[in-house]
Structure 1
Amino acid sequence: MLDDLILIALLLVGYLYWFNGQLVKELALKAVRAHCLNVDVQMLDEYVALNGVRLKRDQAGKMRLQRTFLFEFSSTGNERYNGICTMLGRRVESIQMEPYRFEEF
């Protein structure tokens, strides 16, 4: 009986972790899309990939999960460049992009 309750509790915690991770991934995807649009580059594959998870304190000193997502973008349509979106909890901490070439008009 107790083993079943522990198993159910672990499954519930696992599901909540996964569900929250999916929500944060969607927020990261929206932030990256908006950033790419703002700097006039094309986000490739419309996808962000989870690259790492660690614990970090926010500005208030509260422990949060920091997730790092990778994405790819192109400035001219010929090359692929990498970018990193770092989320602290549900907040965008930073979006970094490799140096890229842009077309002159």
Structure 2
Amino acid sequence: MFEFFPWLLGLAVLALLWWQSMGAKARARRAALEACEAAEVSFIDELAFKGIRLGRDERGQICLKRRYGFEFYRRGDRRYAGEIEMHAERLAHVQLDPYPI
């Protein structure tokens, strides 16, 4: 009976990480849409996962830092890149590449 406990615990941890990752991605997508709307550009693609690493947030606590990429356009002729960094499930930074006004 107890030989399955480590496996169940491992699966529970993986499920929790997956659930938190989905929540962080949803918040990152919402932030990308809001940043594009504020800059008066059009959001093109879904978010692309760029990486994950351990790091410290602004309060010095250890957290997972996730990076997502997306694309947007101003007039429809050229795509520009944007990037979002999440600390755990909090938005840390949104960056839009330079584009013509």
Q: Report the TM-score when normalising by structure 2.
A: 0.93
Inter-partner Cα distance in structure 1 for 2:40 and 2:14: 39
Give secondary structure in 2 for the equivalent of 1:85.
strand
Higher relative contact order (CA 8 A, sep 6+): 2
**RMSD (Å), alpha carbons:** 1.1
Q: Report the TM-score when normalising by structure 1.
A: 0.90
Q: How many residues end up aligned between the 2 structures?
A: 101
Inter-partner Cα distance in structure 2 for 1:3 and 1:76: 60
Give secondary structure in 2 for the equivalent of 1:93.
strand
Determine if the alignment matches structure 1 residue 100 to structure 2 residue 99.
yes
Inter-partner Cα distance in structure 2 for 1:65 and 1:73: 26
Give secondary structure in 2 for the equivalent of 1:17.
helix
Q: Indicate the percent of aligned positions where both proteins have the same amino acid.
A: 32
Runs of 4 or more, structure 1, over 2 Å off, are none
Amino acid at match of 2:17: Y
Unaligned runs of 5+ in 1: none
Give secondary structure in 2 for the equivalent of 1:50.
strand
Residue aligning to 2:52: 53
